[in-house]
A and B are shown apart, each in its own frame.
Chain A
């Protein structure tokens, strides 16, 4: 078994004291950093102290990610998987517990040496266009990490951008265009290129194909698999789609209401689910009879 690159111990993350249910926040449960929730907080509540039940998005999660492998995290909206993703890259700090990257606390690195942290771990987001600044060209987007994280000079950056574009199979002339000129699949490839620009060891993929059409989703999944093999990457792949997670993962954890309810190898989880919730999830996937009929 390969070495552990990232490990989480009893990680808890709570959101503000807002009494709001997470239903209103829908699928983007964890996108909101604390300050946003703070801003949304009911003014009356803030002033008179009404309704202060903190919301536990992640409730005591422990897991390990092994180098060169893919850990799939699967769960429905509101299960805390995106919050967990944000903590893994240091965008959010855990309320308690610890996440370690190569033996160093991510939270600490995020505070003290953000550059070092982001040279090691990167993230790809769900909304391909939303993760690209609409007012920057692709070149500007890709050069930012090259300069800020690796201090490359202009010539080196030019070469590396060309290399990144070909890595994600985008044509070179796209470099000078703006994000709105791209389709979802192309934009997601730019997002992947941006993550690769940091030359990371670990990439957290937060629902990277959920917003894409089936045929484009297949293109991106296939690109991700190819990159993993060529660049020796480790993935944490987060999705609500069980079939996609099964396709890409080596190990899988199933999350429900902020907790991990089941973990195991891909074969264990999908062939022999133990937890009732995992079974419910699997039995809910439509169109199984077709697969069975053909298998």
Chain B
């Protein structure tokens, strides 16, 4: 075995920066900055800050004594002289009581939240880290606490300890411990399983160091998130206990206690109960807004508004805009061609960045032909495939240029109903991971049959009979019985057989298979590929096969398109392209692939990294990594030139690359 010396990454910094697929930024923007850049969270933060500052400033504010009664001026309405917010049933100044009461509520709520966080997190951490019997005992205890309706256990505790603010706080702490314990245990388990924990052990760190430097920093966000969501409840619940007369005892009043006092006066003096309620509401809104903002910052996965729902069909630019460039191209697609892509451009708009995932792809699929698309991640092969029937998620995807013609009919501009009539009927898909692409709650038979009913309008029973026949066709043993099975009851290979059966259900003209065997073991992969090929030949369906694996493409396809940086850089018959590649990228890609039985061959890595599609270099995207590159490679548009029979290559130095 021979290797060339590694010279990876030793390119000038400028090209690296341009080619880097990850945004180059040193350090992460501080959590604080990200929080305050969220306008809703900032509003919450400001609201909270005002309330907290006023509460903190209570001793220095020119307030009346909150506990001095003045029966003569009882139940004065708001804006009375000397009593901005009026007085209560014994003539105490409501404003003063409100501010002092807010102090109490805040202090109790925050203290309770922190204590519950400390105890609950410790339990969760211990349970997950030590596992087994410790986990079992601790978590069973937590389960028992959670077997009570939330507030009821708190009531029982207050009943035992007796009413009082401190006892109410203890009760609220105890009933909130389970939330922390569960959340932290879950987060800890996920971290304990992570490889970096094993790596830390291998680095010789002690248990204590591992917990302190590896485990805890990764669990901390969960603790903060849980804290931010529970502190609001805790303030509400302590207020609630005071409202019932079980928390703060007279003459001391927190917000809940004031509300309780005002409750019976609602008919004569509604302001006595309304005002403290408004303060609790504002406080809780502030806390919840900040909590949501914190969660977005600390756990992008949970981002509340951040998950965008994909529309039923990829958004597209208007036809005249899309087809502007097409007029200059020859041979408009005709009705005899099942599928023709011309200058297809699909972009993703993420924040301010435009990712040119597909940057002008031409592709033609003839009846019964097997067309391969090969490329590395980020090359645009999957987005090309999904664009065909408008399955690219919008947002952020958008087809901005070109056309996709199905027997001459432009699919990009087609209305959703028309697209739905073609999806799964004339053009069908087989996706990558059969575990995630099948609906876990619906039997495999129904998942096949629903497509048949939709397109052929068959009655339920008949569609199900067809589903059984299809399962037999994809060689699922005992299909009659297995038709009622659910995806989780099948092995990976069987699931992908179901995926193929679904694609074949309406005898499509074209099957688009997107890495259908990547998630499978090699022996299973071989069976599935054989099956897919046999069945589609039998039924005369054309195949568009997307893969990162040159070997799979070689085995299955008639023609192949090599993609790099969102464009096809070389295309032609499989034997020509893979046997005598002419684009430097294709040549060097093939030199990277270890081949069975040729261990003596040089593995010759390509230096550098594939380009990020939001920062594509001008001209040839491969130029920064190419040994042949010169000034000509980095200017203007480089066309796909024909160099042999149906063999095309997008390279200005194609004359230098012949073997």
A contacts B directly in the complex (CB < 8 Å)?
Answer: yes
Q: Which residues of A contact B (CB under 8 A)?
A: 23-24, 26, 31-36, 38-39, 46, 76-77, 86, 89, 91, 114-115, 118-119, 122-123, 125-127, 130-136, 140, 144-145, 148-149, 169-171, 176-178, 180-183, 185-186, 191, 194-195, 197-198, 213-219, 221-223, 225-226, 240-244, 246-248, 266, 270-271, 280-295
B141 on the interface (CB 8 Å rule)?
Answer: no
B38 on the interface (CB 8 Å rule)?
Answer: no
Q: Decide if A76 touches B1 in the complex (CB within 8 Å).
A: no
Q: Decide if A247 touches B603 in the complex (CB within 8 Å).
A: yes
Find the A residue at minimum CB distance from B11: A171
Q: Which positions 163-217 of chain B face chain A at CB distance < 8 Å?
A: 189, 192-196, 198-206, 209, 213-214, 217
**Which residues of A have CB within 8 Å of B420?**
none
How far apart are the CA atoms of A236 and B191 in the complex, in Å? 26
Find the A residue at minimum CB distance from B189: A39
**Which residues of A have CB within 8 Å of B301?**
none
**Which residues of A have CB within 8 Å of B203?**
118, 144-145, 148-149, 194, 197-198
**Which residues of B have CB within 8 Å of A288?**
551, 596-597
- Can you show 14 pairs from A to B with CB atoms below 8 A apart? A125-B198, A131-B194, A136-B213, A144-B205, A148-B206, A169-B8, A186-B9, A213-B376, A214-B550, A222-B3, A222-B6, A286-B525, A286-B554, A287-B553
Assess A240 versus B21: contact at CB under 8 Å? Given A286-B549, A290-B554: no
Q: Decide if A135 touches B551 in the complex (CB within 8 Å).
A: no
B320 smallest CB distance to A (angstroms): 38
B267 on the interface (CB 8 Å rule)?
Answer: no
Find the B residue at minimum CB distance from A179: B196
Q: Which of B234-242, B351-359, B605-613, B635-643 lies on the face that meets chain A?
A: B605-613
**Which residues of B have CB within 8 Å of A145?**
202-204
Q: Decide if B529 touches A286 in the complex (CB within 8 Å).
A: yes
Assess A127 versus B551: contact at CB under 8 Å? Given A183-B21, A266-B599: no
**Which residues of A have CB within 8 Å of B488?**
24
B593 on the interface (CB 8 Å rule)?
Answer: yes
B324 on the interface (CB 8 Å rule)?
Answer: no
B8 smallest CB distance to A (angstroms): 5
A13 smallest CB distance to B (angstroms): 16
User: Residue B578 contacts which of A194, A223, A247, A290 (CB distance < 8 angstroms)?
Assistant: A290
Interface residues on B, range: 35 or more
**Which residues of B have CB within 8 Å of A198?**
202-204
User: Residue B195 contacts which of A31, A170, A285, A287 (CB distance < 8 angstroms)?
Assistant: A31
**Which residues of B have CB within 8 Å of A144?**
200, 203-205, 213
Q: Which positions 90-145 of chain B face chain A at CB distance < 8 Å?
A: 128, 130-132, 135-136
User: Residue A132 contacts which of B196, B201, B556, B598 (CB distance < 8 angstroms)?
Assistant: B196
User: Residue A130 contacts which of B196, B206, B592 (CB distance < 8 angstroms)?
Assistant: B196
How far apart are the CA atoms of A32 and B195 in the complex, in Å? 10
**Which residues of A have CB within 8 Å of B350?**
none
Query: Knowing that A118-B204, A144-B204 are A-B contacts, what are 15 other residue pairs whose CB atoms are under 8 Å apart, sorted by A's residue number?
Result: A35-B130, A140-B213, A183-B21, A194-B199, A214-B376, A214-B550, A215-B610, A219-B6, A241-B594, A246-B596, A246-B599, A284-B523, A286-B556, A287-B595, A291-B597
Q: Which of B13, B198, B206, B588 has the most CB of A within 10 A?
A: B198
Assess A169 versus B198: contact at CB under 8 Å? Given A39-B189, A181-B22, A286-B525: no
User: Residue A122 contacts which of B22, B202, B588 (CB distance < 8 angstroms)?
Assistant: B202
Q: Decide if B189 touches A36 in the complex (CB within 8 Å).
A: yes
B26 on the interface (CB 8 Å rule)?
Answer: yes
Find the A residue at minimum CB distance from B552: A286
B39 smallest CB distance to A (angstroms): 26
Find the B residue at minimum CB distance from A242: B596
Q: Which of B20, B23, B554 has the most CB of A within 10 A?
A: B554
Find the A residue at minimum CB distance from B4: A222
Q: Decide if B592 touches A215 in the complex (CB within 8 Å).
A: yes
Find the A residue at minimum CB distance from B13: A171
User: Residue A240 contacts which of B196, B522, B548 (CB distance < 8 angstroms)?
Assistant: B522
**Which residues of A have CB within 8 Å of B597?**
246, 270-271, 288, 291-292, 295
**Which residues of A have CB within 8 Å of B588?**
215
Find the A residue at minimum CB distance from B215: A133
Assess A295 versus B598: contact at CB under 8 Å? Given A91-B201, A286-B526: yes
Find the A residue at minimum CB distance from B133: A38
How far apart are the CA atoms of A17 and B185 in the complex, in Å? 22
Find the B residue at minimum CB distance from A148: B204
B308 on the interface (CB 8 Å rule)?
Answer: no
Q: Decide if B522 touches A76 in the complex (CB within 8 Å).
A: yes
Q: Which residues of B contact A (CB under 8 A)?
A: 1, 3-10, 13, 16, 20-28, 128, 130-132, 135-136, 189, 192-196, 198-206, 209, 213-214, 217-218, 376-377, 488, 491-492, 521-523, 525-526, 529, 548-556, 575, 578-579, 588-589, 591-599, 603-607, 609-610
How far apart are the CA atoms of A223 and B607 in the complex, in Å? 12
User: Residue B525 contacts which of A33, A118, A169, A284 (CB distance < 8 angstroms)?
Assistant: A284
Q: Decide if B522 touches A284 in the complex (CB within 8 Å).
A: yes
Q: Decide if A181 touches B25 in the complex (CB within 8 Å).
A: yes
Assess A214 versus B595: contact at CB under 8 Å? Given A38-B135, A89-B202, A176-B26: no
**Which residues of B have CB within 8 Å of A24?**
488
Q: Decide if B596 touches A182 in the complex (CB within 8 Å).
A: no
How far apart are the CA atoms of A252 and B311 in the complex, in Å? 50
How far apart are the CA atoms of A32 and B549 in the complex, in Å? 29
Q: Which of A126, A243, A285, A286 has the most CB of B within 10 A?
A: A286
Q: Decide if A287 touches B550 in the complex (CB within 8 Å).
A: yes
Q: Decide if A183 touches B523 in the complex (CB within 8 Å).
A: no
Find the B residue at minimum CB distance from A35: B131
Q: Which of B25, B28, B203, B488 has the most CB of A within 10 A?
A: B203
How far apart are the CA atoms of A10 and B539 in the complex, in Å? 52
**Which residues of A have CB within 8 Å of B4?**
222
How far apart are the CA atoms of A87 and B195 in the complex, in Å? 15
- List the 9 closest A-B pairs by CB distance, nearest first: A287-B551, A35-B131, A148-B204, A218-B592, A284-B526, A218-B605, A131-B195, A145-B203, A243-B594
**Which residues of A have CB within 8 Å of B199?**
123, 125, 131-133, 191, 194
Q: Decide if B579 touches A290 in the complex (CB within 8 Å).
A: yes
Q: Decide if A135 touches B131 in the complex (CB within 8 Å).
A: no
B487 smallest CB distance to A (angstroms): 12
Q: Decide if A130 touches B3 in the complex (CB within 8 Å).
A: no
User: Residue B603 contacts which of A123, A222, A266 (CB distance < 8 angstroms)?
Assistant: A222
**Which residues of A have CB within 8 Å of B198?**
86, 91, 123, 125, 131
Q: Decide if A76 touches B132 in the complex (CB within 8 Å).
A: no
How far apart are the CA atoms of A140 and B523 in the complex, in Å? 42
Find the A residue at minimum CB distance from B194: A130
A41 smallest CB distance to B (angstroms): 9
**Which residues of A have CB within 8 Å of B491?**
23
Assess A130 versus B22: contact at CB under 8 Å? Given A76-B521, A218-B603: no
A121 smallest CB distance to B (angstroms): 8
A35 smallest CB distance to B (angstroms): 3
Find the A residue at minimum CB distance from B220: A135
User: Residue A214 contacts which of B132, B206, B575, B593 (CB distance < 8 angstroms)?
Assistant: B593
**Which residues of A have CB within 8 Å of B591?**
218
Q: Decide if A118 touches B202 in the complex (CB within 8 Å).
A: yes
**Which residues of A have CB within 8 Å of B6?**
169, 219, 222-223, 226
How far apart are the CA atoms of A24 and B489 in the complex, in Å? 10
**Which residues of A have CB within 8 Å of B595?**
243, 287, 291
User: Residue A281 contacts which of B21, B523, B599 (CB distance < 8 angstroms)?
Assistant: B523
**Which residues of B have CB within 8 Å of A114?**
201, 204
How far apart are the CA atoms of A162 and B529 in the complex, in Å? 47
B193 smallest CB distance to A (angstroms): 6
B94 smallest CB distance to A (angstroms): 48
Find the B residue at minimum CB distance from A197: B203
How far apart are the CA atoms of A34 and B593 in the complex, in Å? 37
Q: Decide if B376 touches A226 in the complex (CB within 8 Å).
A: no
Q: Decide if A169 touches B202 in the complex (CB within 8 Å).
A: no
User: Residue B28 contacts which of A169, A178, A241, A243 (CB distance < 8 angstroms)?
Assistant: A178
Find the A residue at minimum CB distance from B7: A169
Q: Decide if B195 touches A127 in the complex (CB within 8 Å).
A: yes
A7 smallest CB distance to B (angstroms): 20
